[in-house]
Amino acid sequence: MWQVIHGWAGLTILISCLMSILGIVLAAIMIVRMPEDYFLEDKKTRKSPQARQHLLWIIFKNVVGAAMIILGIAMIILPGPGILAILLGLSYMDVPGKHALLYLGLRLKSVRRSLNWVRRRFGHPAFTFPPQTLTKQQK
């Protein structure tokens, strides 16, 4: 009996570590690929190439976003940047009300600081955040 439980515990720890590493790598890639004014733009006014209008591209973005949200939820319990992964997943999805949820998450100074830390680490300029996400002292 203990061998079975011990085997499951090892497998659970391995899966946990792999999910954390995958989440961190995906989050870093997504953060670096976003333009610095990403959070200032509205999806409706953003110019997008023809490929983005294709149904398969929209499905792919939503699947990647959903995967990041699932990894983020898991990373709230497991080690990893859970809230950041959830916000990144949400930013890639095409769902109603996503901007309101993103702005809610971007109000956290730690989230904005983490996003810009990753960008600086890879030699990219910091994000410019919308005024409604900044506190009075930061405006």
Q: How far is 111 from 122, CA to CA, in rounded Å?
A: 17
Residue 50: per-residue pLDDT: 60
Query: Is residue 94 within 8 Å of residue 118, measured between CB atoms?
Result: no
Q: Which residue has the higher pLDDT, 25 or 137?
A: 25
Residues with Cβ < 8 Å from 24, sequence gap 6 or more? Answer: 80, 81
Mean pLDDT value of segment 111-130: 90
Is 53's pLDDT higher than 70? no
How does residue 103 score in pLDDT terms, banded at 50, 70 and 90?
confident
> Which of 22, 44, 33 lies closest to 94 in space, CA to CA?
44
Q: How far is 68 from 46, CA to CA, in rounded Å?
A: 23
Is 2's pLDDT higher than 80? no
Residue 45: per-residue pLDDT: 46
Measured in whole angstroms, how far is the alpha carbon of residue 72 from the centre of its chain? 8
